[in-house]
Amino acid sequence: MIEIKHLTKIYPSKSGDTVALNDIDLTIPDGAIFGVIGLSGAGKSTLVRCINMLEKPTEGSVIIDGEDITRVKQKRLNLLRKNIGMIFQNFNLLEQRTVAQNVRFPLDIAPRQSKRSPKDSPVPFRVEKARRDERVKELLELVELSDKANSYPSQLSGGQKQRVAIARALALRPKYLLCDEATSALDPTTTKSILALLKDINEKLGVTVIVITHEMKVVESICTDVAVISNSKIAETGKVTDVFSTPQSDIAKELIIPDLIRAIESEGGKKLRLIFAGDEADTPVISGLALECGVKANILYADTKNIDGKSFGHMVIAVSEEDGQLEAAKSYLLRHNVRFEEEL
């Protein structure tokens, strides 16, 4: 489990300090695919870099499995980092090493087993070269790139490079995997396959994945938990299903349901926002309203998202206030257990 407590990061400069993170509290449970979403400049990249101390926080602590890594010595930090894989937007592969040699890199620098080596190493010790090569083979099979073992990074496509980076990040069987905008440089199809791979890794290997992104689709398609970050602060956090069905903060609404906001802000009639979370999505609401209550509802917006195999959605309808139509509509919705909110 990763616990982030009162994390603050300030970049001092002559023209005034820049606050990148402001008193962040966050708990990332084991086994989760935890999304951190926000607009660019919100501080999400700084946040993920503080988790493995690529950035030193100004204040606060990052506690990983009970150990505050902001307070450990460099040597211990290097060891703990091996338990936290990381992939990047620009892949960051070693250009002069082959695919196989790139994947072998963490194995080559794994801690040696000796009398002086730490007893509580979270990662496996260095093994002989033949066994390292075996592990590399295994990893390349996992990311479906066995045929590219002897290619160089410059001969690969973006998606292939990210697969190599994933294999490399997983070489020492880390418990955590940080993904910093890992799919932002990829096209939609490749993004899908990389996300599927990350989900697979989470499910099969039990790796806790932390995904930093500005793309809603990424969170929507693989994350179990999400934190929305805005202006260096956590605006909202929770299960993806909760945050997506009933976003509370303005920034979350803007990110998750931007068109809905626009629909609500448009002119004309009283508006109801219907919230579908799970099975009610099958209820024929609109025809029900028309046939049973004679309510003429105008659909301004409708969208469902598939999260964790369940349908979640919002629909905004405009209903005339004349002839008690609004009241009729509300009582119909209450009868059928459809959650709704009156919008101005």
Residues 45-74 touching another protein, rule: CB under 8 A, are 52, 54, 74
Given 39, 63, 149, 326, the residue binding another protein (CB under 8 A): 149
Site string (251-290) toward another protein, x via CB under 8 A: -------------------------x----x---xx----
Q: Are strands 33-37 and 225-230 parallel, antiparallel or unpaired?
A: parallel
Query: Measured on CA atoms in the order 72, 73, 76, 78, is the torsion positive or negative?
Result: positive
Looking at the Cβ atoms of 23 and 97, the one nearer to another protein is: 97
- The interface region with another protein, picked from 16-24, 37-45, 62-70, 192-200 by CB under 8 A, is 192-200
- Residue 146 makes contact with another protein by CB under 8 A: no
- Residue 217 makes contact with another protein by CB under 8 A: yes
- Residue 291 makes contact with another protein by CB under 8 A: no
Site string (93-122) toward another protein, x via CB under 8 A: xxxxxx------xx-xx-------------
- DSSP of 147-211, one letter per residue? GGTTS-GGGS-HHHHHHHHHHHHTTT--SEEEEESTTTTS-HHHHHHHHHHHHHHHHHH--EEEE
Cα Rg for the chain, rounded, in angstroms? Answer: 24
Q: Which strand ranges, in their side-by-side order, compose the sheet holding 233-239? A: 84-87, 176-180, 208-213, 33-37, 225-230, 233-239
- DSSP of 229-253, one letter per residue? EETTEEEEEEEHHHHHHS--SHHHH
Given 90, 117, 298, 331, the residue binding another protein (CB under 8 A): 90
Site string (218-237) toward another protein, x via CB under 8 A: --xxx---------------
- Residue 147 makes contact with another protein by CB under 8 A: yes
Given 18, 40, 155, 298, the residue binding another protein (CB under 8 A): 155
The one-letter amino acid at 295: V
Alpha-carbon distance of 17 to 20, in angstroms, equals 9
Neighbours of 291 (CB within 10 A): 10
Looking at the Cβ atoms of 99 and 251, the one nearer to another protein is: 99
| Rounded least distance, CB 303 to another protein, Å | 6
Looking at the Cβ atoms of 58 and 190, the one nearer to another protein is: 190
Looking at the Cβ atoms of 234 and 285, the one nearer to another protein is: 285
The tokens for 327 are: 């009241």
Alpha-carbon distance of 32 to 202, in angstroms, equals 8
Given 192, 270, 296, 330, the residue binding another protein (CB under 8 A): 192
Residue 152 burial by CB count (10 A; 0-12/13-18/19+): exposed, middle or buried? middle
Looking at the Cβ atoms of 234 and 333, the one nearer to another protein is: 333
Number of residues that bind another protein (CB under 8 A): 73
Looking at the Cβ atoms of 51 and 234, the one nearer to another protein is: 51
